[in-house]
Amino acid sequence: MKQTAEGTAVEARRLTKVFGGPGSEVRALDDVSLTIAKNRFFTLLGPSGCGKTTLLRLIAGFEQPTEGEVLLDGVDIARDPPYRRPVNTVFQSYALFPHMSVAENVGFGLEMNRKPAREIALEVERMLALVRLEGMGGRRPEQLSGGQQQRVALARALANHPKVLLLDEPLSALDLKLRKDMQIELKRLQHETGVTFIFVTHDQHEALTMSDAIAVMDHGKVLQVGTPAEIYETPVNRFVADFIGETNLLPASLTGRTGDEIRFRLDSGKEISGREHGGHDTGARVTLAVRPERAELATGPGGNGLPGTIDRVVYFGTDTQFRVRLKDCDTVFLVRRQNRSGHEASLSEGQEVTVSIPPEALRVLQD
């Protein structure tokens, strides 16, 4: 069943989707072009209303584009009905048939395609083994947990050997621990089957955990496409940096260069240095981004340091978050320190500290 990783699975060409009539138009997608490679776990990520589900529905055939093309294996399928597209969809609600057994649910699509009974039985058995539900074919959906029901929905969607599997926030109804377990299971299923997965979520951690590539969307547009590391480490603008994980944003001006270091002046008047300039010239207004785990705390003066006072200490188990109110600019700066040897209580609320920022930790963003 595993498919080749070569080539393009899905391509969107200048897709636009407008809902409503004159005077009440809503542009859900705005001239979106996107290429998704075969045998990849690809995630559409963004806040509610950004257009990610609309794009998924256009690929599935549940909506028709106002303009543009949807190509699968190089063939435009934008006007084909859903049943003629070699794609399947797993919904948030799972949409299992309550009057059917697990096996009957999994084999439903095969039966609709008039496959022989023996072939259906073998494929159902294989799919249940794939999702680790062996021996549960005779149960009803209400006899299963939420995670098991989701696996049945996945088995049913994969039984017809789709070229692309679309997943519309299928983990949102699960509790945190089960959700994390299912993230690993989904990635395993994608790897073992070789089917291209296109996953919709608003959860940044979920996207970073599972994806081979991520498209960050907002207001009907794709802002950045890249690997999880590229999206997190080198966001292209302020929205992406702020949406993907926690980040500190500091307005500044680019004041000059010394060797390979770029100097910036914050609004407080404090100067710090970085390694990149983002293509800006001296004097330009910029936004600097610093991830909380890249900054350090010291109780005395430090290089590239910003003085402040700890407002709050939050213990997360694996790490501790320090909320530092910087002097002169009344800005809260987040620092995260990993707890390598238990709860680190050496720094406390009200204590004066210096936030030290390594030059390579600074990212210069577009607005």
pLDDT the model gives residue 222:
97
pLDDT the model gives residue 4:
43
pLDDT the model gives residue 6:
66
For 357, the token pair is: 């920022």
Q: How far apart are CA 348 and CA 335, in angstroms?
A: 13
pLDDT the model gives residue 278:
80
- Residue range 26-58, pLDDT digits in tens: 999 999 999 999 999 999 999 999 999 999 999
pLDDT the model gives residue 92:
81
Q: 8-238 and 246-365: same fold?
A: no
pLDDT the model gives residue 344:
53
pLDDT the model gives residue 318:
87
- Residue range 297-306, pLDDT digits in tens: 988 777 788 9
* Mean pLDDT, the chain, integer: 90
Q: How confident is the model at residue 1 (pLDDT cuts 50, 70, 90)?
A: very low
Q: How confident is the model at residue 61 (pLDDT cuts 50, 70, 90)?
A: very high
Evaluate the CA torsion angle 228, 234, 239, 242 in order and state its sign: positive
pLDDT the model gives residue 5:
47
Residue 127's contacts (CB-CB under 8 Å, 6 or more residues apart) are 106, 155, 156, 158, 159
Average pLDDT over residues 156-166: 93
Q: How confident is the model at residue 178 (pLDDT cuts 50, 70, 90)?
A: confident
| In the chain, domain spans | 8-238, 246-365
- With beta carbons less than 8 A apart as the criterion, state whether 278 and 286 touch: yes
E-assigned strand segments in the chain: 8-19, 26-37, 41-45, 67-72, 75-76, 87-90, 164-168, 196-201, 213-218, 221-226, 248-258, 261-266, 271-274, 285-290, 296-298, 305-315, 319-326, 332-338, 352-356, 363-365
- Residue range 62-101, pLDDT digits in tens: 999 999 999 999 999 988 999 899 999 998 887 889 999 9
pLDDT the model gives residue 34:
96
Strands 285-290 and 261-266: unpaired
- Residue range 203-254, pLDDT digits in tens: 999 999 999 999 999 999 999 999 999 999 999 999 999 999 899 999 999 9
Other C-beta atoms lying within 10 Å of the C-beta of residue 177: 9
Average pLDDT over residues 193-210: 94
- The answer on pLDDT for 140 being more than 80 is yes
Residue 2's contacts (CB-CB under 8 Å, 6 or more residues apart) are 39, 192, 193, 194
Look at 136-145, 160-169, 314-323, 342-351 and tell me which has the smallest mean pLDDT: 342-351
E-assigned strand segments in 47-136: 67-72, 75-76, 87-90
Question: Over the Cα atoms of the chain, what is R_g?
Answer: 25
What is the CATH code for 246-365? Answer: 2.40.50.140
- Residue range 302-342, pLDDT digits in tens: 778 899 999 999 998 889 999 999 987 778 999 999 887 75
Q: State which CATH number among 3.90.870.10, 3.30.56.10, 3.40.50.300, 3.40.50.2000 fits the domain covering 8-238.
A: 3.40.50.300
pTM > 0.85: yes or no: yes
Closest CA to 326 of 360, 288, 281: 288
pLDDT the model gives residue 28:
96
